[in-house]
Amino acid sequence: MTAYEVAVAAEATLGEGPTWDPVTGSLLWLDILGMRLHTYDPVTGRRTVRTTPQHIGAAKPRAGGGLVLNLRDGVGLLDPDGTFRWLRHEPVPGRRGNDAAVAPDGSLWAGTMRYDEAAGGGTLSRLAGDGTARTVLDDVTVSNGTGWSPDGRLMYYVDTPTRRVDVFDYDAEGIRDRRPLVEIEEGAGYPDGLTVDADGCVWVALWDGGAVRRYTPDGTLDRVISLPTPRTTACAFGGPALTDLYITTARTGLAAPHPLSGSLLVVPNAGKGLPQPAFAG
Q: Phi and psi at residue 237, in whole multiples of 5°?
A: -85, 140
Whether 171 is catalytic is: no
- All residues at 6 or more sequence positions from 56 whose CB lies less than 8 Å from its CB, including other chains: 30, 32, 35, 36, 37, 69, 70, 71, 72, 97
CA distance 16 to 34: 11
Task: Tell me whether residue 4 is exposed, middle or buried, using C-beta atoms within 10 angstroms of its C-beta: 0 to 12, 13 to 18, 19 or more.
Answer: buried
**What is the rounded distance in angstroms from the CA atom of residue 12 to the CA atom of residue 56?**
13
Phi, psi for 196 (deg, rounded to 5)? -115, 135
Q: Is 128 exposed, middle or buried (0-12, 13-18, 19+ CB in 10 A)?
A: middle
Point out the catalytic residue in the list 192, 197, 218, 244.
192
Residue 133 near residue 118 (C-beta atoms within 8 A) = no
**CA dihedral of residues 205, 207, 209, 214 (deg, nearest 10):** -10
Q: Cα dist. 151→72, 104, 146, 147 in Å?
A: 32, 9, 15, 12
Catalytic positions:
192
